[in-house]
Amino acid sequence: MSNDLYDFVVVANRLPVDFTVADDGSISWTRSPGGLVTALDPVMQGAEGAWVGWPGAADLDHEPFDVDGVRLVPVRLSDGEIELYYEGFSNDTLWPLYHDVIQTPAYHRTWWDAYRKVNRRFAEKAAEQAAPGAIVWVHDYQLQLVPAILRELRPDLRIGFFNHIPFPALEIFAQLPWRSQVVHGLLGADLIGFQRTSDAANFVRSVRRFTDLTTRGEVITVPEDGGERRHVRAAAFPISIDSRQFDRLARSPEVAARALEIRKEIGNPQVMLLGVDRLDYTKGILHRIKAFGELLADGRLTVPNVTLVQVASPSRENVGAYQQLREDVELLVGRINGEFGHLGNAPIRYLHHSYPTEEMAALYLAADVMLVTALRDGMNLVAKEYVAARSDERGVLVLSEFTGAADELVGSVLVNPHDIDGMKDRIVSAVEMDARDQRKRMRRLRRRVLEDDVEKWSQAFLAVLSAVPAHKVSA
Ligand code: G6P
């Protein structure tokens, strides 16, 4: 760090805090939820860096400030920009498109215009903070144009981009009216990271189709002004969690005691099933609850022996598809509870809240079976958190084939959430699995999750990015 310029700058849609400014101008802040924050927090704690992001509310204009040794640089978004750039283009165009069009993406030119404008603002803020030759790490689908704008403003920087969500197949990505602009936006980076090798391969195919650039394996060659050529690498870096922190937390006597209390609070069922998700249509919550309801109807699971605890944290509540999903989930939960519940005993405990990490660790520890049934998910960190919390080597992870985590988590019970009958059978086999089999699988899962933690992920990405030769900048 020199003269208030930073050698390491993170650019993400959200700051790692939400803050509000009181009438007297004082700031109060709280940690904001989301996989990205969880993933990057430990990295930022260790490095003196700057983080450029949106504080999570409209029209908040604030000078950069320091929290826990990290410089936070707020990017102001107006009400209209939140609607068009965040709720619109990011979460009603790109999010459904990149998750295999589970919902129909909406394409609006006004949303695209706002996306371009806001991406430029993020890039300008990052350019102001970065020291000469600094490393700038841009995150996720909301900011895909930032790498190219940043390179234009600051050709001296080494720029990395990481896509936390899937990158779709060429045939799906092709729908996007602005597909070549997005590809060119990303190619401003030196290194483009994806969760899975198939995501990286999908991107390279789109480069070949929508640009006339040369590609060789995972390397794309981009001609620069003055006859220079730049090599951009697109590769997989599967993200993880702070496994040790979760492991430690779940071993604490307080968390263990809380886990027992949770079991008691839900009526000490023989078996507790658990689902933990943002309330998002990609997570397969309806498929999971439907399968559970049918198992009750078939009598293969019975009340009060079995309880499903479903944590569904509120998310993107102004977007229509999310409002619809909430209605559908709550209707289904109500039906099943009405039909199979008794006074003082509901088969589904549905919680539309988010909880602190300690409570999550206690929930994981309390659950016999963890249900991760996403229809499409870049990685799914909940699956890894469950494994990290189970130092007792008990518990079964039921995991959708359509998550990035399924590539790594050998030892889980894999399911296709679209196949309700198949999922029902897998859930029953998870409920009935004996302790010996549970231990064997959990050991294998834990070796993987404890070895490949988030620190290793960021180090691997940053090692490749740092090895990019410094860019020559003509005077
Ligand atoms: C996913 C995305 C993140 C996002 C998070 C929460 O994990 O990959 O970029 O921050 O969801 O969503 P939100 O829209 O609330 O930021």
Give me the CATH number covering residue 344. Answer: 3.40.50.2000
Beta bridge partners of 216: 219
Instruction: Judge whether 137 and 160 are in contact, CB under 8 Å.
Output: yes
Same domain, 60 and 101: yes
- Residues paired with residue 213 on neighbouring β-strands, in sequence order: none
To 5 degrees, how large is the angle CA 449–CA 382–CA 384?
Answer: 5
Which conformational region is residue 246 in: left (phi greater than 0), alpha (psi within -120 to 50 degrees), or beta?
alpha
C-beta separation of 78 from 85 below 8 A: no
| pLDDT value at 243 more than 60 | yes
Is position 171 within any domain?
yes
Predicted local distance difference test score (pLDDT) of residue 1: 41
Query: What is the tally of structural domains in the chain?
Result: 2
Give tens-digit pLDDT for 138-173: 999 999 999 999 999 999 999 999 999 999 999 999
400: in domain:
yes
Residue closest by Cα to atom 4 of ligand 1: 34
pTM value is 0.95
Separation of CA 187 and ligand 1 centre (Å): 22
User: Are residues 273 and 178 located together in one domain of the fold?
Assistant: no
**451, burial (CB in 10 Å: exposed 0-12, middle 13-18, buried 19+):** exposed
How far does the centroid of ligand 1 lie from the alpha carbon of residue 36, in Å? 7
The reply to whether 206 and 265 lie within a common domain is: no
pLDDT at 454 over 60: yes
CA distance 338 to 209: 53
Q: Is 34 in the pocket of ligand 1 (CB under 6 A)?
A: yes
Asked if residue 121 belongs to a domain, the reply is yes
Residues 176 and 317 grouped into a single domain: no
Are residues 251 and 154 part of one domain? no
282 in the same domain as 220: no
Q: Are residues 111 and 221 in the same domain?
A: yes
Give the number of the atom of ligand 1 that is nearest the alpha carbon of residue 141.
9
Least confident of 10-24, 102-116, 430-444: 10-24
**Is 392 part of a structural domain of the chain?**
yes
Say yes or no: CB of residue 56 within 6 Å of ligand 1. no
User: Which amino acid makes up residue 153?
Assistant: L
What's the rounded Cα separation, in Å, for the pair 173 and 153? Answer: 28
Q: What percent of the chain has pLDDT over 90?
A: 84
DSSP state of 392: T
Same structural domain for residues 203 and 289?
no
**If you measure from the C-alpha of residue 7 to the centroid of ligand 1, how many angstroms do you get, rounded to a whole number?**
26
Q: Which ligand 1 atom is at minimum distance from the Cα of 86?
A: 14
User: Do 283 and 162 reside in the same domain of the chain?
Assistant: no
Segments forming the whole domain that contains residue 230: 6-239+457-466
Q: From the CB of 140, is ligand 1 less than 6 Å away? A: yes
If asked whether residues 154 and 268 sit together in one domain, one would say no
Does residue 196 have its Cβ closer than 6 Å to ligand 1? no
Residue 382 and residue 462 share a domain: no
**CA proximity to 405, closest of 205, 206, 164:** 164
Inter-residue long-range contacts of 299-305, CB under 8 Å, 24+ positions, other chains counted: 300/424, 300/428, 301/271, 301/427, 301/428, 301/431, 303/340, 303/341, 303/342, 303/345, 303/347, 304/267, 304/269, 304/342, 304/345, 305/269, 305/270, 305/271
Same domain for 249 and 297? yes
